[in-house]
Structure 1
Amino acid sequence: MDKTQQAALKAAYRQQPPPLGIIALRHLPSGRTLLESSRNAPGMLNRHRFELNLGKHRNAALQADWRRDGAAAFSCTVIDTLKLPDDPAFDADAELGALLDLHRAHWLEQGQPLY
């Protein structure tokens, strides 16, 4: 691959919007899970990990579990994504909210506790 092709691939990558989706931070010993929607799902996972490692997470129960059991006791994943349509009237925030509500309801139906 020559430099021109590499530059074109990098430019195309930079123009892609970050994936919108639902993230889950799951405490494996207890099964408790934090579900959250984000316009930048991978970035939100990084933010949570950073806050937890810093000891400054806004969810006190999650922070306590992290402090007690460490990062190895957690699963941090993007569990669902939204594809942005070409429609300019598409309300991404409303769709993310509906998707989050759907996942929370499913989680609770399965008897899995949430943070």
Structure 2
Amino acid sequence: MSLAPAPAPAPATVPDSTSAAARRAISRQARDAFPPMGIWAIRTGERVLVSSSRNVVGAINRARFELRLGSHTDRALQAEWRRRGDSFVFEVLALVKQREDPAFDYASELRELEQLYRDELAATGAAP
């Protein structure tokens, strides 16, 4: 008796029977969703780089892309990537929650959180 591997689950897609109006509503909902903003880091064997972004996922993807392409603006980081890029860890440290107040200053919140994480890393001896 041979055991065949289980078939892979079908990818999540919008069914063909979904109307154009429903597809537009799904698209609008995705576009209007609160972006994942927060603090993220690149951990190498030697140091930790901390940054903030209004789009954490996009910032991490951009950093990876630039490193793979060889065009990252931090030349020391780029050189380290060439030596040992497989040991890099990209992680989200904190996300900012959406506030009810439309005048809330997210940029200020991100700056304060980033400084808090930098101070914490400096206190533990990790080089930011």
Length-normalised TM-score, structure 1? 0.86
**Unmatched tracts of structure 1, length 5 or more:** none
Q: Distance in 2 between matches of 1:58 and 1:10?
A: 34
Deviation at 1:22, TM superposition (A): 0.5
Deviation at 1:90, TM superposition (A): 0.6
Residue identity opposite 2:37 in structure 1: L
- Helix, strand or coil at the partner of 1:23: strand
Q: 1:50 is matched with which residue: 42, 61, 65?
A: 65
Between the two proteins, the alignment pairs up a number of residues equal to 111
**Unmatched tracts of structure 2, length 5 or more:** 1-14
Length-normalised TM-score, structure 2? 0.78
- Helix, strand or coil at the partner of 1:52: helix
Deviation at 1:18, TM superposition (A): 1.6
Q: 1:24 is matched with which residue: 34, 37, 41?
A: 41
Q: Distance in 1 between matches of 2:93 and 2:99?
A: 20
- Percent identity of the aligned residues? 42
Q: Distance in 1 between matches of 2:35 and 2:68?
A: 24
Contact 2:66 2:72 in 1 (8 A): yes
Higher alpha-carbon Rg: 2
- Helix, strand or coil at the partner of 2:71: coil
Higher relative contact order (CA 8 A, sep 6+): 1
Higher strand content, 1 or 2: 1
Q: Distance in 2 between matches of 1:16 and 1:63?
A: 33
- Helix, strand or coil at the partner of 1:3: coil
RMSD of Structure 2 on Structure 1 (CA): 1.8
Q: Does 1:39 align with 2:54?
A: yes
Q: Distance in 1 between matches of 2:34 and 2:65?
A: 22
- The runs of at least 4 consecutive aligned structure 1 residues that moved more than 6 Å come to none
Residue identity opposite 2:64 in structure 1: R
